Amino acid sequence: MNKKKVRKVQQKKKVKRIKKRRSKVVVRSKKLTLIPAPINQKQLMHIIQGTPAAHIYKRPAKGGGEWEYVTGTYIKKVLNYTFGWMWDFEIKEHGKEGELIWVLGRLTIKNKKGQQMIVKEQFGRADIKFKKGTKIPLDFGNDLKAASTDALKKCASELGIASDVYGKEEFKQIQKMDKGFVPPQEDGPKVKREIEIIQVGVSPKIEELKELLHGESDGAKIKDLKRKTGIAIENFQITERHAILLIAQILNKTVKHGKK
């Protein structure tokens, strides 16, 4: 039997396995949202993915230590890419408390018809910078801009964008699980937490995803994944949730083509 016939036989076997697993996989993929979401799977995956390390910066924190942050430019690029420029940001209120400025910002995500779809509001703040040796503001407008950018970042984090950076304490356990590290139990009262344990790179769902892709190497399979779903990944070090979503998308397309 030549190589072409072997590939055809292998492909037929894969399709049979696909049909058997299809309903099961699609149901599991819906666990990311309990009700139908106003955004599609590609948008959802782009939002919930971890922030690329190249876009995370550090600065000294008051009282010692360091804060991690992302730039306003990065947040705007993610919003533009995810929602196709169909979003608005406005300042609802602003004020001054001591030597800092605060603003209340509102982020509005719109659908293709320009109708309001998702609204998030959050406060942002910035320290007022003074001219050396005086209490005269150096650039009050620039301080307002900094507070506005801070509010935009916090609104975007409520959608899930860079939430692993700005919700550091909340995501601490999940981040460690993602790296395959199980943190030791803390002393004191035990608090029950329902945390999904995700082991990146060893999930059977990642292996299942690879089976659905053509190519001998991971690089070839990644190219096939982009061709089939339009989603580009650097490697297969992804969470089980990502793998389930990608499998569901491939299977849905396979079945649609099969019907045609």
Q: Is the pLDDT of residue 76 over 90?
A: yes
| CATH class of the domain comprising 71-161 | alpha beta
- Please give the C-alpha separations between residue 220 and each of 3, 4, 9, 239, 244, in angstroms, as whole numbers: 18, 18, 20, 20, 20
Model confidence band, residue 225 (pLDDT cutoffs 50, 70, 90): confident
Place of tokens 């499998």: 247
Give me the residues paired with residue 121 across strands: 106
Q: Is the pLDDT of residue 212 over 50?
A: yes
The span from the CA of 17 to the CA of 5, in Å, is 19
Identify residue 122 by its one-letter amino acid code. Q
Q: Is the pLDDT of residue 103 over 50?
A: yes
Express as a percent the part of the chain with pLDDT over 70. Answer: 70
Q: Is the pLDDT of residue 60 over 70?
A: yes
Q: Report which of 146, 164, 143, 159 is spatially closest to residue 56, judged by C-alpha positions.
A: 164
Q: Report which of 99, 90, 104, 157 is spatially closest to residue 126, judged by C-alpha positions.
A: 99
The span from the CA of 129 to the CA of 162, in Å, is 27
Which residues make up the CATH 3.30.390.80 domain(s) of the chain?
71-161
Name the average pLDDT for the chain. Answer: 75
pTM, whole model, 2 decimals?
A: 0.55
Mean pLDDT of the 76-100 span:
92
Mean pLDDT of the 184-201 span:
37
